[in-house]
């Protein structure tokens, strides 16, 4: 009879799930505030924080507000921030000249943050997309049908040196040009910045989930579309082995940390990269991943706090040592209890 049905089982995995105390003893992955990096958007001027429509709770901040936010993040125990500038469209041009202006927004932001909160690590993107009128990460070739790899790398090297001079802890090439990590390492060393580290966006996929970020930095507006194709430099989401090739190249060129991006869509890649190198591995939970969870939560379809935690835990379980996430501050608060 079903009522008296008994199994003669040696193994009952549920035993270890019976009480919270047992569950905590066998918990394999622990998310820590010290694993989190907060991406932040900065704008010029004296205005109020501007919320990004497709990223609820994420704001473009003026430098004074950015400094305040960095202080709070530091107090919560978040070890690092990644800064992204949104430029006035009038300042953008074909070759992204403003990227090499020593007074450009992001450099002023870095100086202000490092002066106010020196213990906080500051990361800046090395790529031209916030600066170009077409929204690409580099300069175009003569035919204007592709991004010119080597000319772009030359500009990125100058950009990285300016960022190092401003005091960043990490430069983060997010452009996916060939050979840029090695060239940037050489340029930094030649300028005396042997202590400035490289966080390389090594396996960066050509993802449709970058849409909200492109709203945030205005590169969508500049390009006239949020779906600008970066397929000639970012990786095809269909590819896995290629990610390992990219990672190993970046490691051989001197990357201190390698990154996989997006994160939640690439848990398999994170694991493979983890197994392929002993370098620290970062993962970027991108704008679209953040937007998805928020949108579903707004509709009452998902629980925001629980999905936030689970999505980050999954990324860490996959093998990431650190996670760039727009949830950094809220997660840090939640972890504090
Ligand atoms: C651009 C850059 C992108 C992101 C970080 N740096 C977008 C892109 O490649 O178009 C995406 C971040 C996100 O979606 O949260 N160099």
Q: Is the CB of 289 under 6 A from ligand 1?
A: no
Judge contact between 143 and 191, C-beta under 8 A. Answer: no
**Is residue 227 classed exposed, middle or buried when 0-12, 13-18 and 19+ CB atoms within 10 A define those classes?**
exposed
Q: Is the CB of 327 under 6 A from ligand 1?
A: no
**Is residue 234 classed exposed, middle or buried when 0-12, 13-18 and 19+ CB atoms within 10 A define those classes?**
buried
Separation CA 298–CA 98 (nearest Å): 38
How many CA atoms, within 13 angstroms, populate the side-chain half-sphere of residue 77?
12
Separation CA 298–CA 170 (nearest Å): 35
Q: Is the CB of 290 under 6 A from ligand 1?
A: no
Q: Is the CB of 69 under 6 A from ligand 1?
A: no
Separation CA 53–CA 155 (nearest Å): 32
Q: Which of 81, 123, 129, 160 to mutate to test the pocket of ligand 1 (most atoms within 8 A of CB)?
A: 129
Distance from residue 120's CA to the centre of ligand 1 (Å): 22
Catalytic site positions = 204, 261
DSSP 240: S
Neighbours of 172 (CB within 10 A): 26
Separation CA 69–CA 43 (nearest Å): 14
Q: Which atom of ligand 1 is nearest to the CA of 209?
A: 14
What are the residue ranges spanned by the domains of the chain? Answer: 31-226+239-336
Distance from residue 127's CA to the centre of ligand 1 (Å): 9
Write out the chain's pLDDT in tens, 337 residues.
688 999 999 999 999 999 999 999 999 999 999 999 999 999 999 999 999 999 999 999 999 999 999 999 999 999 999 999 999 999 999 999 999 999 999 999 999 999 999 999 999 999 999 999 999 999 999 999 999 999 999 999 999 999 999 999 999 999 999 999 999 999 999 999 999 999 999 999 999 999 999 989 888 777 777 767 899 999 999 999 999 999 999 999 999 999 999 999 999 999 999 999 999 999 999 999 999 999 999 999 999 999 999 999 999 999 999 999 999 999 999 999 8
Residue nearest to ligand 1 atom 6, measured at CA: 174
Residue nearest to ligand 1 atom 16, measured at CA: 174
Judge contact between 247 and 201, C-beta under 8 A. Answer: no
pTM of the model: 0.96
Q: Is the CB of 215 under 6 A from ligand 1?
A: no
b/e map 71-89, b = 16+ CB within 10 Å: eebbebebbbbbbbbbbee
Q: Is the CB of 291 under 6 A from ligand 1?
A: no
Distance from residue 188's CA to the centre of ligand 1 (Å): 23
Task: Tell the CATH topology of 31-226+239-336.
Answer: TIM Barrel (3.20.20)
- Phi then psi dihedrals of residue 163, to 5 deg: -65, -40
CA dihedral sign of residues 252, 255, 260, 262:
negative
Q: Is the CB of 137 under 6 A from ligand 1?
A: yes
């Amino acid at each position: 009879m079903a009522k008296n049905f008994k199994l003669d089982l040696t193994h009952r995995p549920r035993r270890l799930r019976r009480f919270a105390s047992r569950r905590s003893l066998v918990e394999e992955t622990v998310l820590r505030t010290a694993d989190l990096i907060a991406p932040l958007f900065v704008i010029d001027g004296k205005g109020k924080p501007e919320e990004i429509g497709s990223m609820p709770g994420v704001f473009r901040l003026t430098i004074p507000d950015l400094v305040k936010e960095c202080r709070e993040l530091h107090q919560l125990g978040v070890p690092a921030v990644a800064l992204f500038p949104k430029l006035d469209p009038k300042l953008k041009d074909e070759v992204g000249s403003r990227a090499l202006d020593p007074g450009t927004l992001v450099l002023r932001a870095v100086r202000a943050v490092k002066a106010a909160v020196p213990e906080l690590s500051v990361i800046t993107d090395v790529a031209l997309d916030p600066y170009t009128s077409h929204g690409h990460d580099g300069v175009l070739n003569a035919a204007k049908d592709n991004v010119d790899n080597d000319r772009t790398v030359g500009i990125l090297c100058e950009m990285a040196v300016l960022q190092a001079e401003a005091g960043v802890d990490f430069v983060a090439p997010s452009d996916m040009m060939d050979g840029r990590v090695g060239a940037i390492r050489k340029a930094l060393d030649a300028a005396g910045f042997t202590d400035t580290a490289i966080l390389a966006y090594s396996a960066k996929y050509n993802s449709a989930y970058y849409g909200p970020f492109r709203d945030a930095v205005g590169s969508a507006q500049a390009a006239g579309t949020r779906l600008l194709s970066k397929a000639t430099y970012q990786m095809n989401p269909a590819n896995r082995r290629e990610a390992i090739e990219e990672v190993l190249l970046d490691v051989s060129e001197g990357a201190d940390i390698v990154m996989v991006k997006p994160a939640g869509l690439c848990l398999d890649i994170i694991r493979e990269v983890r197994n392929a190198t002993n370098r620290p591995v970062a993962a970027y939970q991108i704008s679209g991943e953040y937007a998805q969870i928020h949108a579903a939560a707004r509709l009452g379809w998902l629980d925001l706090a629980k999905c936030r935690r689970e999505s980050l835990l999954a990324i860490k379980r996959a093998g990431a040592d650190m996670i760039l996430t727009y949830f950094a501050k809220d997660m840090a608060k939640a972890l504090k209890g």
